Structure formats: C-alpha cells, structure tokens
Amino acid sequence: MPCAFSLASLRLPLFSSPPTIPPSLQKVLKDAAMEDGTVILTTLNEAWAAPNSIIDLFLESFKIGVGTHRLLNHLVIIALDQKAFQRCLELHTHCFALITQGVDFRREAYFMTPHYLKMMWARIDFLRSVLEMGYNFVFTDADVMWFRDPFPQFYMDADFQIACDHFLGNSDDLENRPNGGFNYVKSNNRSIEFYKFWYSSRETYPGFHDQDVLNIIKFHPSTFTIGLRMKFLDTAYFGGFCEPSKDFNQVCTMHANCCYGLDSKLHDLRIMLQNWKQFMSLRPNLKKYFILPWGVPQNCSLDSLRHYDAPESNNPHDLQD
C-alpha cells in the first residue's frame, strides 16, 4: 500500500528530527523487496512526474527492456512532493511520499545551487536509512533507461558499486569518474558506515555536490579503514550521454547524464527509446550484428549547464540533473 510521511520522522540530521523509522516505510520496502532483501529505488519530484515527462519514459524502458518488466515489482518510487506522489499512485504500485517540512522540492534544482545540494544530500542520508533497515538497494535516477536486467553484470563481492560518467577500463581504479545516479549497495556494517561518513563529509566540504565529495573520500584513509569493497561499473553495460554504451547487445542501462534542461533531456531520451525499439524489432540473427551507434546525444550537451550562480526557477516543469 502506498504510504506517506514527513522527513521530520525519519532521523535525517539535515532536519531536526527524532530517531524513529516509520513502520509505513518498512511496509513499502518489505512489499517491494526481492527474496534477498533488495529493492530498486528512484526519486521523483513534480517536474519529473508531469504527464509525458521523465517518469513515463523511465517506466516505459522497463516494459520494453530485456528481462526488466518483472523488476517493476521491486521498484519503489520515492516522491518528494505531493503532486509527484499522486502521479505515482496513478502509474505504479510501490509509492512512498518523503515530504520534507519547510523545503520545496517541486522546483527545478539548478545544478550546484543550495537547493540542489540540499536535495542531493537528503537523498544520501535517506539511502543510509534504507541500509540501516537491512535492505540492499539499486538506486537509479529516473532519467536512467533500463534496457536489460543489470543484476548479472553486478560484482558479487562488492559492497558498493557505481556507474561512471567516464570509465577507465578497470573496475577497481579509483580514478574512474563515478555518477551517483546509478548504484548498487549491499546492506552491511561497511556500507552503513560509509554512507554515514559520506554524509558527514558534507560539513568538511561545504558547497560540494555529493558526487564531488565521493570523488574526494574514495581516496580517504577512513574509507579504507571502513573496509568498503568498492567497484566501478563499465560503461559498456552502464552507459550514458557522457560515454554511451557501444553495443546494443550488451547495454543494461543508459543515463541522460551530461545533459541539463528538461526539453533537451526529454528530446534525447525519446530518441534513445526509439533507437532501442528499432533494435528490438530486428530478427535475432540481425541483432547480433547490429553495430549502429545511438542517435544521441543531440540536444544534450555540457553547454547547457546552468552555473551554480544561476537564479533558481519557480517553474516546476524545469528539471534538475
């Protein structure tokens, strides 16, 4: 059953709150969990929830992917505002409203603005709470298209594995450039302590994005002391606009990263889905020889990045990345 509660009851240190975890969250996660206690999580605000927007494309990708439709049974959509929650109820089974008192997450969160940073850090601490409840998770941004079941490509011995904007060829190389929009994390003492350390590091590096802080603390002695087993996912399987997967026969996910602005993102995501449908329409003997590149990025480019000093918009139909 879909549930709603306030962040003020979830023990997120960013907001003054008592140390309790609502039973409603427990129920949503329990209902969605796989046999091994794994859930798939994404977050949604009003901008991404609008009809014919990001969430529709996201869910469509599961339905047309290879071995992905069944994974919708394990997807929990975390709505960040009431309109997003209502739209989730129209589209999906497992919905949860994470309403933050005094914070409006409906608006576009321009990259690196205080509003954007608050949203990203709240997400990190929420994910820590999921780990403390004993659930493994795959976190995915809603602008990640799921074209193939990713679980066979995950590393069995890793605590924390994350997609990359740029992959250097070695899954253990700390110089890889991770992207927080897609990661698979197992619940254990190491991952919980790492998420606590990651979240607390926002105070050490004020004004930094969670992803930028990750790029710093992955080298930190505390990360090695925690003993976290970290892996970086190959863009051959987990690609994006920054570095597209080159083989339709291997790709699991494609992320609309290196892209800023709702119109550009939607334009290119629709082309991406059409590319996939064309591939899936081929006869099996032709698919294995299919080597054409993606038709994206087109409108998406780093030139569309809004700098940290851009004014924050009140238009909920703009999009954060």
Q: What is the pLDDT of residues 93-143, one digit of tens each?
A: 999 998 765 555 444 444 445 666 777 888 999 999 999 999 999 999 999
Domain membership flag for residue 11: no
Long-range CB pairs of 92-97 (<8 Å, 24+ gap) are 92/59, 93/32, 94/2, 94/28, 94/31, 94/32, 95/2, 95/3, 95/28, 96/2, 96/3, 96/4, 96/24, 96/25, 96/28, 97/2, 97/3, 97/4, 97/5
Rounded to an integer, what is the distance from CA 250 to the centroid of its chain?
20
Domain membership flag for residue 105: yes
The single residue listed with the structure tokens 């996660």 is: 29
Domain membership flag for residue 62: yes
Domain membership flag for residue 9: no
How many Å apart are CA 181 and CA 191, to the nearest integer? 17
pLDDT of 2 reads 60
Least confident of 24-33, 36-45, 303-312: 303-312
CATH code of the domain covering residue 210: 3.90.550.10
Burial class (CB in 10 A: 0-12, 13-18, 19+), 191: buried
Domain membership flag for residue 5: no
* Mean pLDDT of the chain, nearest integer: 86
Instruction: For residues 279-301, give the mean pLDDT.
Output: 90
Number of domains in the chain: 1
pLDDT of 319 reads 37
How many Å apart are CA 291 and CA 277, to the nearest integer? 15
Domain membership flag for residue 132: yes
Domain membership flag for residue 316: no
Contact 189, 159 (CB under 8 A): no
Instruction: For residues 317-321, give the mean pLDDT.
Output: 42
Which structural domain range is residue 291 located in? 25-305
Q: What is the pLDDT of residues 144-168, one digit of tens each?
A: 999 999 999 999 999 999 999 999 9
Among 276, 271, 280, 277, which residue's Cα sits nearest to residue 300? 271
- Say what the pTM is: 0.87
Domain membership flag for residue 53: yes
Instruction: For residues 200-220, give the mean pLDDT.
Output: 94
pLDDT at 64 over 90: yes
Instruction: For residues 238-260, give the mean pLDDT.
Output: 95
Least confident of 16-30, 67-81, 123-137, 227-241: 16-30
Among 298, 294, 181, which residue's Cα sits nearest to residue 244? 294
How many Å apart are CA 254 and CA 273, to the nearest integer? 10
Beta bridge partners of 139: 41, 183
